[in-house]
Amino acid sequence: MRIKTTLIAMAALLGLGACATEEGYRQHMGLLQGASADAVLVDWGPPQSRTPMSNGRELWSYTKTTVEERAGYWRDETRQVTRKITDRDGKEKTETITENFPVWEPAQTLRSVCTTRFVMASGLVEDISFNGDGCVAEELRKS
């Protein structure tokens, strides 16, 4: 039950994305070390692939793609413009003015991918590895 609660909390943290780091994901995956295969199946669902290994273990792979759509928007950009002018007396002066320009930021589609692999041995998680820019979670607080 502890593992299921941990995984539910981890999933919630992954969805928030606030202060999420790769180290946080590593910490959460470390909590699954030694978990039962059944616990992984219940919380992660069936793996997208199962590959037998030469040492009798099995490699379970999960890949998650997250897509975030950001709408386009206008923002103001402030620029300082410096120019030299000559006054009526023929003296050269420098004048600096600040101008605001509207700048369009186009819509963006941000994609991130995380592949997590579990090495299963005798019905337990023996090892976990992951890669991808989407493998992030909020770091665990140290007590």
Residue-wise pLDDT for 88-135, tens only, equals: 888 999 989 999 999 999 999 999 999 999 999 999 999 999 999 999
Of 57, 46, 25, residue with least CA distance to 126:
57
Averaged over 44-73, what is the pLDDT?
A: 97
Q: How far apart are CA 58 and CA 121, in angstroms?
A: 7
Q: Is 63 helix (H, G, I), strand (E, B) or coil?
A: strand
Q: What mean pLDDT, rounded, does the chain reach?
A: 88
Of 94, 93, 103, 120, residue with least CA distance to 39:
120
Q: What is the pTM of this model?
A: 0.66
pLDDT above 90 coverage of the chain, percent: 75
Specify the DSSP element, H or E, that contains 30: helix 22-30
Q: How far apart are CA 130 and CA 62, in angstroms?
A: 9
Averaged over 33-61, what is the pLDDT?
A: 97
8, 14 in Cβ contact below 8 A?
no
Residue 2 pLDDT greater than 70, yes or no? no
What is the per-residue pLDDT for 45? 96
Domain ranges of the chain: 2-69+118-138
